[in-house]
Amino acid sequence: MQSKIEQFYGAWSETDKVKQAEAVAAALSAEARYVDPRTPDPLVGPAAVADYVAQFTEMAPGAVATVAQVDERDGIARATIAFVMPDGNRQMGQYFVQADTDGQLSHLVGFVGTGT
């Protein structure tokens, strides 16, 4: 699952919108659900998630998202993601991720920070 998580969050740094959408679609299942503190409702499907990722890229050009750590247990991954903004500010987030039987990411739930 870690390689799909890296593929998905790698797309957040991609500046070419077509390549970005392709990377998101390659990592997610057709009915993937994504939610984080900035989404008022869960996003469903690769197209909706790709649109959201594109908004991030537009609002923070030059920002880079990297996977800092992934822990897995019983089919659920906890991914710690570092978002480095163009001004050097670093924001951390944690995502809990499930994959479907084909290994595609199917459910992603994100939180700001890394907890206490």
- 19: part of which helix (H) or strand (E)? helix 17-27
pTM: 0.92
Residue 80's domain is classified under what CATH number?
A: 3.10.450.50
Per-residue pLDDT band at 108 (split at 50, 70, 90): very high
Q: How far is CA 27 from CA 10, 43, 53, 98, 106, in A?
A: 10, 15, 13, 12, 9
What pLDDT score does 52 carry? 96
Separation of first and last alpha carbons in the chain: 25
Joined together, the tokens standing for residue 88 give 């050097």
Note down the domain range covering 100: 2-112
What pLDDT score does 1 carry? 87
CA dist., res. 106 & res. 31, Å (int): 7
Residues above pLDDT 90, as percent of the chain: 92
42 pLDDT exceeds 90?
yes
What pLDDT score does 39 carry? 95
* pLDDT tens digits, one per residue of 72-88: 999 999 999 999 999 99
What pLDDT score does 115 carry? 80
Q: What is the mean pLDDT of the chain?
A: 95
**Domain total in the chain:** 1
